[in-house]
Amino acid sequence: VPMGVLSCMKYLMFIFNVLVFAGGTCLAGLGVWVAVDPAGFQGIVATRAVLSAGAWLLLVVGITLSLLGFLGCCGALRRSRPLLLL
């Protein structure tokens, strides 16, 4: 396999993992906003238990995606197979 192809794959994996990290951070931020903001979503969330659980679910999924995206970025830069497989 030519070296240019491997270098391109490395940077494409890095960019994809940065996007996953950014998406996870946005989801976590949205989950915190829905769970904490008393003026915005709190009236809706307080009346429906499903939306309250959804806020915590957004928070957990966002943190998980951020962690996986960060580990993927580290794995792509270091060419670490265990980190990429995680």
Question: Rounded CA gap, 29 and 17, in Å?
Answer: 18
In this prediction, residue 20 has a pLDDT band, given cuts at 50, 70 and 90, of: very high
Residues ≥6 apart with Cβ < 8 Å to 25 = 62, 66
Per-residue confidence (pLDDT) for residue 43, from 0 to 100: 65
In this prediction, residue 42 has a pLDDT band, given cuts at 50, 70 and 90, of: low
pTM assigned to the model: 0.80
Looking at 13-17, 26-30, 49-53, 65-69, which range is the least confident one?
Answer: 49-53
In this prediction, residue 10 has a pLDDT band, given cuts at 50, 70 and 90, of: confident
